[in-house]
Amino acid sequence: MPANKSKAIGFVLLSAFGFAMMNLFVQLSGDLPFIQKAFFRNVVAMFAAMAALKREGVSFRWEKGNFPLLLLRAMLGTVGIFCNFYALNHLMLADANILNKMSPFFAILFSLLLLKERATPFQYAAVLIAFGGSLLIIKPGFSADAFPAFVGLLGGAGAGAAYTMVRILSKRGEKGPRIIFFFSAFSTLVTLPLMLLDFQPMTWQQLLILLGAGLAATLGQFGITLAYAYAPAKEISVFDYTQVLFSALLGLVLLGQIPDGWSILGYIVICGISVISFVHNRRLERQEQQSGGL
């Protein structure tokens, strides 16, 4: 329904802003082990999801038959986080970001394989154009060391597969806060012993920044979970690229980073194709409704 897709787009934009803030905080937290950063990202989201479950009166017990899917979603999401944070610690920020932004492509691929949700040629083209716009902005310069880049790409695949599992679980009646709680609790339990093995003392400033990263990640996680519950990846993944725009704005306002001409062109490309994609999808919806009414 049009209303659902409009909600999905709104949640994607909210998620993009949250994850842009998370990346900013992760960078500001300094030279800490990526596992330690991932722990704080997960533990805050876990308590936020727990509070949401209690507020909505939703049981912690998953729907019948969904445990294997919840476990798979949690494992894929944890791999995605580990790989992304590892890439952020070992690659240029631009390299790590572009590899992680491969997740919408993987989401569409996994949606096709697992849900049989086929995208139209226009929708495939829209995602490719948005990807090209992001390249104009981040201008990646890949290093000769292939391993961190491969890990970053694996993180994008893990995130894309996890988003597909979120949609499958939502179609099976699983509540968004419960999906997030299960994932965050699983990631926290996995991360805690690994963090303790290589814990680095932090200043109060670093602790507050990492807690901020956790809050921002929670906003992003709730947004993306709700978005993929309302609409398939092929119809909303293009809007996820607005994270690049939010990152550029945060960099300008908070870090004094002024975008160059290529970046500005990338903003225009991403905003333009997002609007065109939205109008195109709405037109298709109206045509389907008119055909169904005949």
Q: Look at residue 247 and tell me whether its pLDDT is greater than 50.
A: yes
Residue 274 lies in a domain: no
Amino acid letter for position 106: F
| The predicted structure's pLDDT at residue 206 | 94
Residue 99 lies in a domain: yes
Residue 288 lies in a domain: no
Residue 91 lies in a domain: yes
Buried-exposed string 252-288: b where 16+ CB fall within 10 A, e elsewhere: eeeeeeeeeeebeebbebbeebbeebbebbeeeeeee
Residue 67 lies in a domain: yes
Q: What is the pTM of this model?
A: 0.75
What average pLDDT does the segment 123-129 reach? Answer: 79
Q: Look at residue 233 and tell me whether its pLDDT is greater than 70.
A: no
Lowest-confidence region among 146-150, 197-201, 202-206, 218-222: 146-150
On whether the CB atoms of residues 218 and 45 are closer than 8 A, the answer is: yes
Residue 142 lies in a domain: no
Q: Look at residue 257 and tell me whether its pLDDT is greater than 70.
A: no
| The predicted structure's pLDDT at residue 203 | 94
DSSP for 201-227, written as a single string: ---HHHHHHHHHHHHHHHHHHHHHHHH
| The predicted structure's pLDDT at residue 201 | 93
Residue 253 lies in a domain: no
On whether the CB atoms of residues 171 and 4 are closer than 8 A, the answer is: no
Residue 137 lies in a domain: no
Q: What is the pLDDT of residues 82-123, one digit of tens each?
A: 998 888 777 666 667 667 777 767 777 777 777 777 767 887
On whether the CB atoms of residues 47 and 177 are closer than 8 A, the answer is: no
More confident residue, 11 or 151: 11
Per the structure, how many domains does the chain have? 1
CA atoms within 13 A on the CB side of 44: 22
Residue with tokens 């994607």: 12
What average pLDDT does the segment 188-198 reach? Answer: 93
Decide: residue 95, CB within 10 A, 0-12 exposed, 13-18 middle, 19+ buried. buried
Q: What is the pLDDT of residues 166-183, one digit of tens each?
A: 888 888 888 878 888 899
What average pLDDT does the segment 140-151 reach? Answer: 65
Q: List the domain range (segments joined by +) for residue 211.
A: 2-119+149-237
| 282: confidence class by pLDDT, cuts 50, 70, 90 | confident
Tokens of 223: 């947004």
- Residue 257: what are its φ and ψ, rounded to 5°? -85, 120
Q: Look at residue 192 and tell me whether its pLDDT is greater than 90.
A: yes
| The predicted structure's pLDDT at residue 1 | 47
Amino acid letter for position 10: G
CA distance 239 to 205: 33
| The predicted structure's pLDDT at residue 95 | 64
What average pLDDT does the segment 10-39 reach? Answer: 89
